[in-house]
A and B are shown apart, each in its own frame.
Chain A
Amino acid sequence: MSDIIKVPNKRQVVKADGGKKDLAQQFYEGQIYTSIFRHDYKDNKRNRALQIVNNVFLHLHPTRVSRHAIDVGYTWGMGGITLLLFIVTAVTGILLMFYYRPTSEYAYNDMKQLMHDVPFGAFIRNMHRWAAHSMVICVMLHMYRVFLTGSYKPPREFNWVIGVNLLVLTLALSFTGYLLPWDQLAIWAITVGSNMARAVPFLGHAGPFAPEFHQLVGFGGAPDADVRFILLGGTEVGAPTLLRFYVLHTVFLPIVTAVLLAVHFWRIRKDGGISGPPMIEFNKAVTDASKLKVSVVEHLPKYEYVEGFKQVEGEESFKEVVKKDLDTLKQKTSKKLSNLINAIDQAAEQNIKGGDDSHSHDEHHDNPDHNNNHNNNDHHH
């Protein structure tokens, strides 16, 4: 195959000489390497796919994506950068937790110590804050891009909804973190921000209809019995607020965010990957074909052996087998169906010419919808 990078000749020479493998080769084929990566080091399409599928972190990706999906000019990379910034804030945040106590007696002094005495304390805190600000900006820009490319359209509507919730969570994370330094900037920004909660209709003591509602249920119309009181743990921003915001900031909101992030990423995959323009011809053929369901038992194992078959028998005989296969299928089926298969055949052939084979598939284990990757763009009627 054209795209296999040739193994340096040196190794082969060594092999030819005494049948010995060099150190690198011993390592790459040895027990330790294969136990970690579950496949050998050879650069071929199968191993490239396995590199993604066998790695729990990389497995967020499909094994292949359309070319425009890796075009930074299209995606701006903002979603990925947001995830990175979330991880950076999580790591630096945990380091900060070693030095910070969320009580009004200690909080400010701990901050001072962090900034002046703790080795790299200022650096870690700075990085936490700048990553957090950047994360808010990147979420907005991500949303901006998703809107401008119409990527919220079917089948991705619900993932947009999850995204809106993640935006709100990001703002809430940033807002609760804003209080923790316990300096003038923090306490007054949170005072201004949380003062809004007074004005909640019915439930905030300065909100419309709150006195009437208070008379009815005994809650909402008084400064010490409204939503703001629940949020702050008092009638103004004080020690209980600090503890509340700390717990929200370090435990509750990160967990909720992480869970929603997981759903968000999972839905990207399920909804057919990064959005893209309709792939008019190839896509149509595949969409039609996906209406004909095939049983996994018969077809899936065949594909699983395709790569191995190719390796052993060579590309040409593989093509022959496929052709023979399709011919038998065509004979067996009606004319309408055989036209369809012809269309797929042509499209597939074009694809093979393009240096990519259409017969290998992305993932073995969620095969039942592996065609979704192709057909989603045509879903809308």
Chain B
Amino acid sequence: MQEGLKNFWHLVSLPDNVPIIGMLGLVIFYTWQSMRKATRNDRLGTPIEASMTDRVQVWPYLVRIEFLTSVVVILILTVWSVGIDAPLEEPANPGRTPNPSKAPWYFLGLQEMLVYFDPWLAGIVFPFLIQAGLMAIPYVDINPKGNGYYTWKERRFAIGFFLFGFLILWVFLIILGTLLRGPGWNFFFPWEEWDAHKVVAANSRDWPELFGKFPAKNVDGSMNIGHVVIGLASIVGYYVGGDILLRKVVLPRATKDKDIVKKLGPLRYGTVSFFVLTCMTMPIKIILRLSLDVKYVLSTPWINF
């Protein structure tokens, strides 16, 4: 325990990890602050920002804020740069792989996905979808309210989903990857010692195998039709069922608008549905892995899901 905590403290105080701790603090502070503003605006009816619509001259009222902010930021950077040296380890050695090998900290959320999905999904398709999904946001969010002020009531679904994606699937997974993943990318609690030889039960079960003898391959190496049927049906079923849930229950309730799907139209709604459901496969796969030890939902010779 003592050794474990020591190691955890070492991780936290690594020069490259200091900014991550700072980020965590800022994210928590800003989330709290913006939610406080949102509830206050919702209670007031008209946003507090609307009481500040008179115009002020940029010189000096804005320029002086920018100047002071610059001074403060450069001051912080200076103190930081004097106090903490950027890391420089031994020279590059392609023959000696460190364990654990970690990507730069901002990609650790993506590296964490590798535990649950194959590289082509976790490393290529999902990052691409994250970008595409982010860019699609302004074009699928047709709610005219909540433009230019903090609110929660007027944008429940948008804000709720974004908070989930940003706080849990991005920030939390970065923290997890930075501080709680050790040798072999195994999970270690802060008080646990890093054991390079930790053995974790290998997960070799695929989803269809929970329903009977449906391994990905038969004994003779050929594809198991039952496996493919169950796997494919589960994936299609997830998207169809999830879509119905989203359109009948989640969206109308969250937006308090029975006709929201009709207002969105097929293209916009289809986009929302696809991105939301695909995004939710990440937490679902985590739950399946942790509770039922499921590796793949569907495994074929070409691709695995």
| Interface set of A (CB-CB < 8 Å, partner B) | 45, 48-49, 51-52, 58, 61-74, 76-77, 80-81, 84-85, 88, 104, 108, 111-112, 115, 122-123, 125-131, 133-134, 136-137, 140-141, 144-145, 147-154, 156-158, 160-161, 164, 167-168, 171, 174-175, 178, 181-189, 191-193, 195-201, 204, 206-209, 236-238, 275-280, 282-283, 351, 354, 356, 377, 380-381
Please tell me if the beta carbons of B144 and A127 are within 8 angstroms of each other in the complex. no
**Size bracket of the B interface:** 35 or more
Say yes or no for B53: interface residue by CB 8 A criterion. yes
Please tell me if the beta carbons of B55 and A66 are within 8 angstroms of each other in the complex. yes
Give Cα distance in the complex from A204 to B123, angstroms. 12
Q: Which of A84, A108, A137, A174 has the most CB of B within 10 A?
A: A137
**Residues in B187-210 with C-beta less than 8 Å from chain A:** none
Chain B hits for A283, CB < 8 A = 53
Closest to A87 in B: B70
Say yes or no for B134: interface residue by CB 8 A criterion. yes
For the residues of A in contact with B, the DSSP-based class is helix
For the complex formed, measure the closest distance between the CB of B139 and the CB atoms of chain A, giving whole angstroms: 6
Please tell me if the beta carbons of B147 and A153 are within 8 angstroms of each other in the complex. yes
Please tell me if the beta carbons of B92 and A192 are within 8 angstroms of each other in the complex. no
Binds A, one of B44-52, B228-236, B249-257, B274-282: B44-52
| Interface set of B (CB-CB < 8 Å, partner A) | 16, 19, 22-23, 26-27, 30, 33-34, 37-38, 46-47, 49-50, 52-63, 65-66, 69-70, 73-74, 77-78, 80-82, 84-94, 96-98, 101-107, 110-111, 118-120, 122-125, 131, 134-135, 137-139, 141, 143-151, 155, 158-159, 162, 166, 170, 302-303
Sample (12) of A-B pairs whose CB atoms are under 8 Å apart: A63-B59, A65-B58, A65-B62, A80-B66, A111-B88, A122-B85, A184-B89, A196-B122, A199-B123, A237-B94, A275-B148, A277-B49
- The 6 A-B pairs at the shortest CB distance, nearest first, are namely A196-B123, A199-B119, A157-B138, A126-B81, A68-B52, A67-B52
Please tell me if the beta carbons of A193 and B104 are within 8 angstroms of each other in the complex. yes
Chain B hits for A168, CB < 8 A = 131
Please tell me if the beta carbons of A199 and B124 are within 8 angstroms of each other in the complex. yes
For the complex formed, measure the closest distance between the CB of A60 and the CB atoms of chain B, giving whole angstroms: 10
A207 touching B124 in the complex, CB below 8 Å, given contacts A112-B88, A134-B77: yes
Please tell me if the beta carbons of B148 and A189 are within 8 angstroms of each other in the complex. no
Give Cα distance in the complex from A168 to B120, angstroms. 19
Please tell me if the beta carbons of B91 and A108 are within 8 angstroms of each other in the complex. yes
Chain B hits for A77, CB < 8 A = 65, 69
Please tell me if the beta carbons of A351 and B54 are within 8 angstroms of each other in the complex. yes
A76 touching B54 in the complex, CB below 8 Å, given contacts A84-B70, A185-B87: no
Chain B hits for A104, CB < 8 A = 92
Q: Which of B59, B111, B145 has the most CB of A within 10 A?
A: B59
A88 touching B77 in the complex, CB below 8 Å, given contacts A156-B138, A199-B123, A278-B50: yes
Give Cα distance in the complex from A181 to B227, angstroms. 48
Give Cα distance in the complex from A191 to B125, angstroms. 19
A196 touching B162 in the complex, CB below 8 Å, given contacts A66-B55, A111-B88: no
Chain A hits for B38, CB < 8 A = 148
Please tell me if the beta carbons of A196 and B124 are within 8 angstroms of each other in the complex. yes
Give Cα distance in the complex from A69 to B94, angstroms. 51
A175 touching B107 in the complex, CB below 8 Å, given contacts A182-B92, A198-B119, A279-B53: yes
Chain A hits for B141, CB < 8 A = 152-153
Please tell me if the beta carbons of A150 and B155 are within 8 angstroms of each other in the complex. yes
